């Protein structure tokens, strides 16, 4: 069983790393002839041994191919790596696979500084059953029951679905429908526990509902690689096919399988790519690839090794200033319904809390950095304009002398004007203070920008937000029976996608390391043996409750996130409207100031004003010029804040997400609401009516439909998070 991080861990201690785990799903024929039994057994022994050895060589500190571990191996725990096999506990090929698992063994390297028998791999058997344990056992042949009980007792965990076993004599179409629904559900849930599917079947023979061939096709659609063992072939070199997602099953089986050397190379590459290749897809000779790899390693190092971050940085007053600046501004626009936090699911909550804390920290730093830059840029322009205006009113300065000459040519003596012919004792210190203030602001803006971009505050904010959102889904998906969450389908040409690879690796590593046995809902039970002479201990049994899961997904996930996106739409729209309105108002104010200055100049030129008005006009002109310089700077700063915050596009995205989740307002009676909330409501009503109104018409296996809807909802959220990360990927820019 995989270990779970303790909730009692010190916040300053290194964060626990996930265990290195590879999950193999298995589907195979129930009836095997002696030659078929032999070919399946030999093929499984070879395949599992190859996978196990490569997995051991990746594990940090394992004495297998020592020194050749991928760099990311440092972020796995030093527990012995685990190879898990998930079957349907059926007779035939399933039993052969369970037996093959017991023979998997990896020895240390020759000359390794450890005892010869040191284990380098651990194995684990688990099962997915279409019905409750005793019902499923009763459906198996009598000769297989002792072996069934033995395998059941070996299982680290068992997932039992809510299928209904119905096989009357004579059989009926509805009974067949119930069984088909249950076996298809078993196939689907088995894939949700797997990284690779191993299948053993003869493709020339017809398949059944939820059977091996159907499971293989579903696996490829689900983007799982498949190791296909052709039971009709005489040797393993002719029997083992390696089929990747996107390949055509008939086309691959029509070709010759890979030879022994190629097969071993590809199997090892699969293990590496699945468990230890966050840089998959990066060009090794690209300078950008090196930057992205370095960024990923830095992110993982902070996540695991800097347990006191971000708390240790809160003591810095500049950090607090950056974080509070944006928070103060954003709070002016927040409103809407109160959002209830997601119900936590241990042990995922431990990792999500870490990701969320880092996300809040870096998001606030990034937003506060650009917000302070623009605010201080306005202050710098104000100081510069004030300095020039004060210089212009001092006759003893070069600027003042020029203004004095111009005034005297116009018939106005300096004594009657706004200029001062004598040095004012306060002027020089004030000008020096203003100059120092401007210089300090410019230095701070430059330093602030460099620090934000060098330390990748926005990249880290985007990465950790993406991780936190994916982990949010794991509060719900495991209870729906899925431990293989949907992946994002990000924009094709966005570099952000590449830089997200380390986060995807971390998320996948966490999900693999957390077993269904780690969930609180899984518990030990005792059942009578098949012959009633003893009892069988099921170490961890997890049974799904589709109605309760659906309610939780609908109300706590979709419902609360619909409220969040509604609130966020209002917040971001209000921010955008405020910034835009102020920009427009200031734009008109600039025009008004310039127009007023022109009127004053015209009045002075054509003698429209009295002596007192002339004096006012002379005094007002420098300050009006200063104001006409300051206001455009404020407009430009507000435009920069709008650009950096992406408030308009984020408002639009949240509005779209709200429609996806809650649906559009009903425009006419009878129009179906296509929102996820309405879909969940309709499914909940179907489950309730089938189980309460007439149980004899209940088809069972509602957990499969709940799983499908939950995964569609998870896909909505992961795509939103991926697209948001592309949208928001930008550096802090210097106002200019």
pLDDT at 413: 45
CB 29 within 8 A of CB 201: yes
Percent of the chain surpassing pLDDT 70: 80
Residue 309 has pLDDT above 90, yes or no: no
**Position with higher pLDDT, 672 vs 413:** 672
466-475 residue pLDDT tens: 999 999 999 9
Q: And the tokens for 478?
A: 């495991």
649-677 residue pLDDT tens: 888 889 999 999 998 876 566 667 789 99
Q: How far apart are the first and last CA of the chain?
A: 57
**Position with higher pLDDT, 404 vs 445:** 445
Beta bridge mates, 129 = 160
CB 304 within 8 A of CB 14: yes
Beta bridge mates, 543 = 160
pLDDT at 8: 40
Rounded mean pLDDT of 620-637? Answer: 71
Beta bridge mates, 227 = 198, 242
34-68 residue pLDDT tens: 999 999 999 999 999 999 999 999 998 888 888 78
pLDDT at 640: 80
- Could you tell me the pTM of the whole model? 0.86
pLDDT at 419: 47
Residue 648 has pLDDT above 50, yes or no: yes
CB 551 within 8 A of CB 684: yes
Give the C-alpha separation, 42 to 368, whole Å: 62
Helix (H) or strand (E) holding 216: helix 212-221
Count the helix, strand and coil residues of the chain and give each as a percent rounded to the nearest 5. 60, 10, 30
Helix (H) or strand (E) holding 543: strand 535-543
Tell whether the torsion through CA atoms of 511, 514, 516 and 521 is positive or negative.
Answer: negative
504-533 residue pLDDT tens: 899 999 999 999 999 999 999 999 999 989
Range 23-130+165-275: architecture per CATH: 3-Layer(aba) Sandwich (3.40)
pLDDT at 398: 46
pLDDT band at residue 379 using 50, 70 and 90 as cut-offs: confident
pLDDT at 617: 58
Q: And the tokens for 402?
A: 């020029």
Question: Nearest to residue 372, comparing CAs of 731, 646, 641?
Answer: 641
| In the block, residue with structure tokens 């455009």 | 632
| In the block, residue with structure tokens 């088809």 | 699
pLDDT band at residue 313 using 50, 70 and 90 as cut-offs: low
Percent of the chain surpassing pLDDT 90: 47
SS (H, E, C) 93-132: HHHHHHHHHHCCCCCCCCCCCCCCCCCCCEEEEEEEECCC
Beta bridge mates, 526 = 537
pLDDT at 42: 96
CB 64 within 8 A of CB 80: no
pLDDT band at residue 261 using 50, 70 and 90 as cut-offs: very high
SS (H, E, C) 368-404: HHHHHHHHHHHHHHHHHHHHHHHHHCECCCHHHHHHH
Compute the chain's Rg from CA coordinates.
Answer: 35
600-625 residue pLDDT tens: 666 666 666 555 555 555 556 666 66
pLDDT band at residue 108 using 50, 70 and 90 as cut-offs: confident
* Summary mean pLDDT of the chain: 83
Rounded mean pLDDT of 667-691? Answer: 83
**Position with higher pLDDT, 716 vs 420:** 716
Helix axes 34-58, 260-275, angle to 10 degrees: 50
pLDDT at 373: 85
Residue 626 has pLDDT above 80, yes or no: no
Which residues, at least 6 apart from 583, have a Cβ–Cβ distance to it below 8 Å?
Answer: 635, 638, 639
Rounded mean pLDDT of 158-176? Answer: 93
Weakest-pLDDT range from 340-344, 640-644, 704-708: 640-644
Give the C-alpha separation, 152 to 511, whole Å: 24
C-beta neighbour count of 645 within 10 angstroms: 21
pLDDT at 109: 78
For every residue of 588-630, DSSP letters joined together read: HHHHHHHHHHHHHHHHHHHT-S-HHHHHHHHHHHHHHHHHHHH
Q: And the tokens for 150?
A: 């033995």
CB 144 within 8 A of CB 32: no
Which residues, at least 6 apart from 22, have a Cβ–Cβ distance to it below 8 Å?
Answer: 51, 55, 81, 82, 83, 84, 195, 196, 271, 274, 275, 512
pLDDT at 39: 96
For every residue of 276-332, DSSP letters joined together read: S-TTTT--TT-HHHHHHHHHHHHHHHHHHH-TTTTGGGGG-HHHHHHHHHHHHHHHT
**Position with higher pLDDT, 473 vs 290:** 473
Distance of CA 122 to the CA centre of its chain: 30
pLDDT band at residue 102 using 50, 70 and 90 as cut-offs: very high
Q: Where are the domains of the chain?
A: 23-130+165-275, 329-486+517-727
Give the C-alpha separation, 392 to 395, whole Å: 7
Give the C-alpha separation, 157 to 288, whole Å: 44
């Amino acid at each position: 069983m995989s270990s779970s991080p303790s909730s009692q861990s010190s916040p300053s201690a290194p964060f626990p790393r996930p265990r290195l785990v590879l999950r193999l799903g298995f589907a195979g024929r129930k009836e095997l002839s002696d030659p078929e039994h032999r070919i399946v057994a030999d093929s499984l022994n070879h395949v599992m041994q190859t996978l196990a050895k490569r997995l051991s060589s990746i594990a940090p500190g394992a004495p297998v191919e020592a020194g050749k571990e991928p760099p990311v191996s440092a972020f796995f725990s030093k527990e012995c790596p685990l190879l898990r096999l998930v079957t349907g506990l059926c007779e035939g090929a399933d039993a052969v696979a369970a037996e093959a698992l017991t023979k998997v063994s990896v020895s240390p390297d020759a000359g390794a500084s450890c005892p010869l028998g040191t284990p380098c791999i651990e194995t684990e058997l688990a099962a997915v059953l279409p019905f409750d344990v005793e019902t499923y056992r009763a459906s198996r042949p009598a000769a297989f029951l002792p072996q069934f009980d033995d395998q059941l007792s070996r299982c680290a965990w068992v997932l039992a679905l809510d299928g209904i076993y119905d096989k009357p004599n004579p059989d009926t179409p509805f009974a067949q429908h119930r069984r088909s629904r249950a076996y298809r559900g078993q196939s689907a849930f088995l894939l949700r526990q797997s990284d690779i599917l191993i299948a053993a079947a003869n493709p020339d023979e017809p398949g059944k509902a939820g059977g091996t061939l159907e499971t293989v096709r579903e696996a490829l659609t689900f983007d799982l690689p498949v190791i296909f063992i052709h039971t009709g072939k005489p040797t393993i070199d002719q029997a083992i096919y390696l089929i990747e997602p996107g390949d055509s099953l008939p086309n691959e089986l029509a070709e010759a399988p890979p030879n022994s050397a190629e097969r071993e190379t590809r199997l090892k590459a699969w293990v590496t790519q699945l468990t230890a290749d966050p840089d998959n897809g990066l060009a090794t000779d690209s300078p950008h690839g090196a930057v992205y790899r370095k960024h990923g390693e830095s992110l993982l190092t902070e996540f695991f090794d800097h347990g006191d971050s971000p708390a240790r940085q809160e003591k810095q007053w500049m950090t607090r200033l950056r974080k509070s600046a944006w928070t103060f501004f954003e709070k002016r626009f927040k409103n809407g319904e109160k959002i209830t936090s997601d119900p936590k699911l241990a042990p995922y909550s431990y990792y999500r809390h870490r990701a969320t804390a880092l996300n809040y920290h870096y998001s606030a730093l990034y937003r506060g950095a650009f917000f302070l830059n623009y605010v201080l840029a306005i202050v710098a322009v104000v100081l510069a304009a004030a300095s020039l205006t004060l210089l212009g009113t001092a006759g003893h300065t070069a600027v003042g002398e020029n203004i004095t000459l111009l005034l005297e040519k116009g018939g106005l003596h300096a004594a009657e004007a706004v200029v001062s012919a004598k040095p004012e004792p306060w002027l020089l210190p004030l000008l020096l203070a203003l100059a120092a203030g401007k210089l300090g602001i410019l230095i701070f803006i430059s330093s602030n920008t460099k620090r934000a971009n060098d330390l990748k505050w926005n990249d880290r904010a985007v990465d950790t937000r993406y991780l936190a959102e994916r982990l949010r889904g794991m509060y719900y998906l495991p209870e729906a029976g899925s431990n293989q969450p949907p992946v994002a389908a990000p924009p094709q040409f966005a570099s952000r996608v590449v830089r997200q690879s380390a986060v995807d690796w971390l998320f996948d590593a966490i999900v693999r390391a957390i077993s269904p046995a780690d969930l609180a809902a899984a518990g030990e039970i005792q059942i009578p043996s098949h012959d009633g002479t003893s009892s069988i201990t099921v170490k961890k049994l997890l049974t799904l409750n589709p109605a309760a899961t659906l309610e939780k997904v609908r109300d706590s996930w979709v419902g609360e996130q619909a409220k969040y996106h509604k609130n966020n739409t209002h917040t971001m729209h209000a921010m955008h409207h405020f910034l835009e309105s102020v920009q427009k108002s200031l734009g008109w104010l600039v025009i008004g100031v310039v127009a007023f200055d022109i009127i004053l100049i015209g009045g002075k030129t054509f003698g429209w004003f009295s002596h007192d008005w002339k004096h006012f006009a002379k005094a007002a002109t420098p300050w009006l010029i200063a104001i006409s310089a300051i206001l455009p700077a404020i407009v430009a700063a507000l435009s920069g804040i709008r650009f950096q915050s992406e408030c308009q596009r984020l408002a639009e995205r949240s509005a779209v997400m709200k429609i996806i989740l809650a649906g559009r307002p009903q425009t006419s009676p009878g129009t179906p609401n296509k929102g996820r909330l309405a879909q969940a409501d309709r499914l909940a009503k179907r489950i309730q009516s089938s189980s309460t109104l007439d149980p004899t018409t209940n088809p069972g296996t509602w957990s499969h439909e709940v799983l499908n809807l939950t995964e569609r909802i998870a896909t909505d959220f992961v795509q939103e998070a991926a697209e948001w990360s592309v949208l928001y990927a930008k550096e802090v820019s210097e106002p200019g």
